[in-house]
């Protein structure tokens, strides 16, 4: 289940977008200002951000730059301004799409679906850095050329970590994601046991991937 960040200062529109996304099965993290959005993103592993351009304490372009510095996720802009310069600016910042208001909710949902399908295909096929190789389609994992026998839960962890490289994943976020994918545990101790077991299988003295940020969560080094 993907998580979508919605930054929109219009309360009615924010609620409408959030409700429509939740009906489609997405998890939604919403905010109505740049400051609130930063706080939300610091504790949320989002898969996509829907950003309004005009906000009470800044603009969506500024927040997009902030996202680019902290997380590697696609962005879709919303704006009441149908200006070519704004669209070009959004695309130059790496936005996947730009939607002008008023818009059809069905069209917005379809655009989000398409963006996420691109992200899934791009990021989750194969991870290979010369030492560790993960084939997400077949489930094969190898380290230093030797096959690693990972459990279903360990493989779920690999998918989550590799999809959020360089991003702190809190204990709560990881447990929620694992629960959504069918893992049958819900406490930090069980999570730590599985992470440590996975690290012993894929890491050695010269190759470290998962870092424990004490009291907060885990980070897959990018």
- Check residue 60 and report its DSSP letter: H
- Pair (29, 115) in one structural domain: yes
- Pair (150, 40) in one structural domain: no
**Count of helices and strands (H, E) across the chain:** 8, 14
Which H or E run includes 43? none
- Pair (103, 210) in one structural domain: no
Nearest CA among 6, 27, 3, 26 for reference residue 15: 6
* Tens digits of residue pLDDT in 209-219: 999 988 889 99
- Pair (41, 110) in one structural domain: yes
**Hey, what are 24's tokens?**
């489609």
- Pair (111, 165) in one structural domain: no
H helices of the chain, in order, are 11-23, 34-42, 60-70, 84-92, 105-123, 152-162, 171-180, 188-202
Which of 104, 123, 142 terminates a domain? The answer is: 123
| Strand blocks (E) in 165-221 | 168-170, 210-213, 217-220
- Pair (172, 117) in one structural domain: no
Which of 123, 144, 166 terminates a domain? The answer is: 123
* Tens digits of residue pLDDT in 135-185: 887 789 999 999 999 988 899 899 888 878 878 888 888 888 787 666 666
> Above pLDDT 70, what percent of the chain?
92
- Pair (84, 136) in one structural domain: no
- Name the band, by pLDDT with cuts 50, 70 and 90, for residue 208: very high
User: What values do phi and psi take at 56, rounded to 5?
Assistant: -65, -25
- Pair (92, 162) in one structural domain: no
Residue carrying the six token digits 């930063």:
38
User: Which CATH number characterizes residue 158's domain?
Assistant: 1.10.10.10
Q: What average pLDDT score do residues 10-38 get? A: 93
* Tens digits of residue pLDDT in 65-83: 888 887 778 899 998 876 7
Which of 66, 98, 123 terminates a domain? The answer is: 123
Is the entire prediction scored with pTM above 0.85? Answer: no
> Above pLDDT 90, what percent of the chain?
37
Three-point CA angle 144, 145, 146, nearest 5°: 95
**Hey, what are 133's tokens?**
């190789």
- What's the total number of domains in the chain? 2
Domain of 105? 3-123
């Amino acid at each position: 289940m993907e998580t979508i960040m919605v930054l929109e200062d219009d309360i009615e529109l924010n609620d409408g977008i959030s409700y429509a996304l939740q009906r489609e099965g997405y998890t939604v993290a919403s905010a109505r200002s740049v400051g609130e959005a930063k706080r939300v993103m610091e504790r949320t592993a989002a898969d996509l951000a829907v950003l309004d351009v005009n906000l009470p304490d800044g603009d969506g372009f500024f927040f997009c730059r902030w996202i680019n510095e902290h997380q590697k996720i696609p962005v879709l802009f919303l704006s009441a301004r149908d200006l070519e310069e704004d669209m070009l600016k959004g695309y130059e910042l790496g936005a996947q799409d730009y939607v002008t208001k008023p818009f059809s909710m069905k069209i917005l949902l379809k655009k989000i679906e398409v963006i996420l399908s691109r992200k899934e295909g791009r990021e989750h096929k194969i991870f290979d850095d010369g030492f560790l190789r993960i084939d997400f389609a077949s489930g094969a994992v190898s380290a230093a050329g030797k096959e690693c026998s990972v459990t279903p839960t360990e493989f779920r962890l690999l998918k989550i970590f590799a999809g959020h490289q360089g991003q702190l994943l809190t204990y709560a976020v990881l447990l929620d994601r694992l629960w959504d994918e069918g893992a049958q545990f819900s406490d930090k101790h069980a999570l730590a046991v599985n992470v440590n077991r996975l690290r012993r299988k894929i890491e050695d003295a010269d190759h470290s991937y998962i870092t424990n940020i004490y009291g907060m969560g885990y980070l897959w080094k990018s």
